[in-house]
Structure 1
């Protein structure tokens, strides 16, 4: 009965959408990279860097949307580095991505310590306000960044399936030799997709410091980047299903928080923490078997090679 009351409570669905927002943005970022044939395991570190850079920019005096732009540029910069390693030098995408994660995370933590050497409590900024002017209760309790994430889903689908740019991205992810034969630059297309996807990852990180919270603290990303990588597989590399996957994980996460609050000592809290991950893994296993992945994913390409 308690679960039913929870599911009928608008506050629960408000929390679901709030938890899903960085996952939507991050999953779209991973999707763009992988549609072009490049696995970007740098997302965890890029989200950390975006969270820190956006927050520091706002703390230094920029407006909130200026902080989001700084986070996007920070993500794009790390994306460009990732592209140079994986596309330009054709290095291992796994190793390069993990290296980007460690580099971006370390630089962010170092930058925080240098900027605030004697501060024990993280300084705060004024975050985005909720959109009280909207007539839909669940949306009105969100910030503009959630609305941005929701709008980017149909935009990404339209660009991917209805524009020459999207066709080029899908071609280099499926058959780069055929794309080259049509006069498409595989290196430029993959680089552009990685930079754009990494910019979305940076924005995903900035949501946590400029919308969900009002400060930057260590370990705040807490594995969300890795969840986004899994959600892309769950979504079969489609933006619409990526939205559903992010909402599904957020639903389980919000539910376990409510169960912790109402469950008392019936179960160890670790059991509740496991719930969203276990259920998401089960859903991933069921869906991934039939997923049609990009055929050139994780395969380095050198111009002229067959």
Structure 2
């Protein structure tokens, strides 16, 4: 393999990881929520709030934290996403609201609230560009491995490998720990769990709050890796694509990660396709809509074959 081909493939892999990382975090969040029996359609809105809060943090404290600012901003975005997801938890668990309606309200409220706050804080409809971003990263030692180094570990994105690690940890937590067993059991048969002394409402809250944290981080990573600022169009469909990845991955963290990588690749191709053989001959407008068309196709082909938690989306009433 010549150097130019190696560089082209390496760049394609690196960019795929950049676009996949926000989807991985958010899809993992959706997995935790739905495993507890709560459908979280509000992932899009949670990503919006995560992106907004992380950018505001970055613009405010970049001079204080320097290169660490994006990492801390992602934690801030996750915490804000968690707080925002609390609204969904209260509505669906305590107030017994329809899960889809509650999530839709969050999706409608988040963009309006964030832009309103941006106008109050900055006096305009979008923020300035952030100065501290994730950029590209070379893994010490690993980037010098022949072939594999330039492909996976040189000029790559560090958050992607954090997301992959989080996916592995999420799989272990869900399938190898007592907490994960109880969370999955609540999503399958909350009445049986209640009779065994498991706090059903508590587990549902845990699932939704974890989804809020990971979804907020997904939005923050998107803002710091791709957008570079916050505007009304910063998050435009990534939350729904993450839900598709979760379903495509059959509510399994590793499956969701693999599906997110696939959708990230589709998003990347739609942007860099002009420089690739064969793909460059396809009209640009078709490439721009490709990720969303692929999302619909995947859902049509696989949603009937993917069976989620038995009590997913159903309101549990303790007295019954």
Say yes or no: TM over 0.5: yes
| Per-residue CA distance 1:74-109 (angstroms, 9 max, x = gap) | 011011111000001110111111111222221111
CA distance in 2, matches of 1:102, 1:119: 17
Offset at residue 6 of structure 1 (A)? 9.8
Equivalent residue for 1:168? 182
Are the equivalent residues in 1 in contact too, given 2:51–2:222 (CA < 8 A)? yes
Aligned positions of 1:123-272 closer than 5 A: 123-134=129-140, 135=142, 136-137=149-150, 138-261=152-275, 267-272=282-287
Equivalent residue for 1:21? 21
CA distance in 2, matches of 1:88, 1:140: 49
Equivalent residue for 1:278? 293
Are the equivalent residues in 1 in contact too, given 2:14–2:157 (CA < 8 A)? no
Count how many residue pairs are aligned between Structure 1 and Structure 2.
301
Are the equivalent residues in 1 in contact too, given 2:89–2:208 (CA < 8 A)? yes
**Kindly tell me: are residues 272 and 7 of structure 1, through their superposed partners in 2, closer, same or farther at Cα, counting changes over 3 Å?**
farther
Instruction: Give the structure-1-normalised TM-score.
Output: 0.91
- SS of structure 2 residue aligned to 1:25: helix
- Of 7-16 and 294-303, more deviation after overlay is shown by 7-16
Matched, 1:297 2:303: no
- Of 182-191 and 245-254, more deviation after overlay is shown by 245-254
Aligned positions of 1:30-109 closer than 5 A: 30-61=30-61, 63=65, 64=69, 65-109=71-115
Structure 1: gaps spanning 5 or more residues: none
Are the equivalent residues in 1 in contact too, given 2:58–2:130 (CA < 8 A)? no
Structure 2: gaps spanning 5 or more residues: 143-148
Are the equivalent residues in 2 in contact too, given 1:127–1:213 (CA < 8 A)? no
CA distance in 2, matches of 1:85, 1:8: 48
Offset at residue 290 of structure 1 (A)? 2.3
Offset at residue 261 of structure 1 (A)? 4.7
**Kindly tell me: are residues 266 and 109 of structure 1, through their superposed partners in 2, closer, same or farther at Cα, counting changes over 3 Å?**
same
Instruction: Give the structure-2-normalised TM-score.
Output: 0.87
Root-mean-square deviation over aligned CA pairs: 2.2
Equivalent residue for 2:118? 112
- Of 254-263 and 68-77, more deviation after overlay is shown by 254-263
